[in-house]
Structure 1
Amino acid sequence: MKYTAGQAAKATGVSKATITRALKSGKISGVKDENGAWSIDPSELHRVFPPVAHEPPETHTLKQPATPEKTNETGVLERENQMLLEALIEARQERDRWHQIAERLSIAPPVPISQKRPRGFWSRLFRKEGGT
């Protein structure tokens, strides 16, 4: 029995996109049929991706969700999250400030160009001074 890409993903516990990327890159081999569906040999699939251990069927008992206690790790993550939010706000303010500067510069009147054209290198080098 050959796997489709979806069945292969379920059998290995990886995403379907991971399976198709592996097929396209040649990491595993498979055949595409006329409908565009992949056909993958199980031995070829499990050569690269180990099979997922099948879990026993769940019983219908209600499981009480454990109330997460605030651990030290949670506190550290919350502080890090707060610092990242503050950095984001600061970066947005800086972006807005630069945006305002750019707008002012684009609206500013153009700088008048001198009517006299600057002399080039050779004309300055060989300029005639007092008839020489």
Structure 2
Amino acid sequence: MLTLGQAAKLAGTSKTTLTRAIRAGRLSATRRDDGGYAIDPAELCRVYTVTPTTPETGAATGRVVHQATPAGDPTATPCDPTVTARLAALDAEVRGLRDLLAEVRQSRDSWQQQAERATLALTDQRPTFWRRLTGVAARARM
């Protein structure tokens, strides 16, 4: 989990911008005991383009761009190849589950129709109270 300051450095925005994004619901974060925010790195990566600071690149210098939403489509630039692969696997699983659900619904409807036909067939063969009383059903069987 990242603090608000760490997340702002990674995203290249200010802490105020991240706070506004959290309050607007664009970025998910949890409150810590000290009143600050704890931001999941994957959540930060989902909303903002994250540029980690490494010894090779050095600290980010220059002007901080103040914007609440990232430029471009955040799904177009995946943060991590493993996240992209997992997302693709989950999409495939969702498609499979939807297909299975459609098959189960079709099977349920088929069984329901069969049960309704069987119920109608059984109710048509049983003589009613008046037919039993008058003996109409008994004559029909003879």
If the TM-score is normalised by the length of the shorter chain, which range does it land in? 0.3 to 0.5
Higher helix share: 2
